[in-house]
Amino acid sequence: MEFKFDLNSVLRPDSRGIAILAPNSQYRPSRELCFIIDELGKLSATAQGLRAIITTSTKFFGSNDNKLYFKTEGNRVLGMLKTGYRKLFYTNEIGKITELTPLCLLDFYVHESVQRSGYGKELYERMIYEENSQPNKIAIDRPSPKLLSFMRKHYGLSEFVPQNNNFTIYKRYFNGGFQES
């Protein structure tokens, strides 16, 4: 998505075009920054067929654990990813309930014009690097069919026990290890 104002001065991306907004970072809720977050949030919700928008500037600046990652190119934002910690109750195959507080992938969107070009993988792997984590350790809030395919293709992650809370935690969260494609 292309913006009319100078995106670089608002998002201040690094040399790879990635900007990371964390609660303790120096970003202030300027009109332009809120506009970027809100527009990408709307596009993501539409792409996922959601009625409620997951990512808004109000929610982001009102929370103290969410992180936002943007992939930019010139004056365009190509993708966005949001993470945060959530306390979850996980039920395994035999009904045993465990309380976990994993890092969660809460929202993930790559613009339609550049999907399937590797930008999603770039954003996801930057997040994994920044968090010093691994794909099998990340819970996912309501993964879409495209995201399930993404996780299977890039990380060989496919097996999980469906949960009432709609979060997906792969079985390898508990067994460890992952394969890269």
Options 15-23, 90-98, 139-147, 158-166: segment touching ligand ACO (CB under 6 A) = 139-147
Q: Which of 115, 133, 134, 163 binds ligand ACO (CB under 6 A)?
A: 115
Contact 81, 68 (CB under 8 A): yes
Binding status of residue 150 toward ligand ACO by CB under 6 A: yes
In angstroms, the CA 76 to CA 92 distance is 42
Minimum Å distance from CB 152 to ligand ACO?
7
- Minimum CB distance to ligand ACO, residue 26 (Å): 26
User: Which tokens hold the place of 76?
Assistant: 């365009």
Looking at residues 116 to 135 of the shown chain, list those that interact with ligand ACO (rule: CB under 6 A).
Answer: 116-121
The owner of tokens 């026990």 is: 161
CB count in 10 Å sphere of residue 105:
23
Nearest Cα neighbor of 44 from 103, 101, 123 is 123
d(CA 54, CA 49): 12
Q: Going residue by residue from 47 to 86, which x/- string records binding to ligand ACO, judged by CB under 6 A?
A: xx--------------------------------------
Query: Residues interacting with ligand ACO, by CB under 6 A?
Result: 47-48, 105-110, 115-121, 140-144, 146-147, 149-150, 153
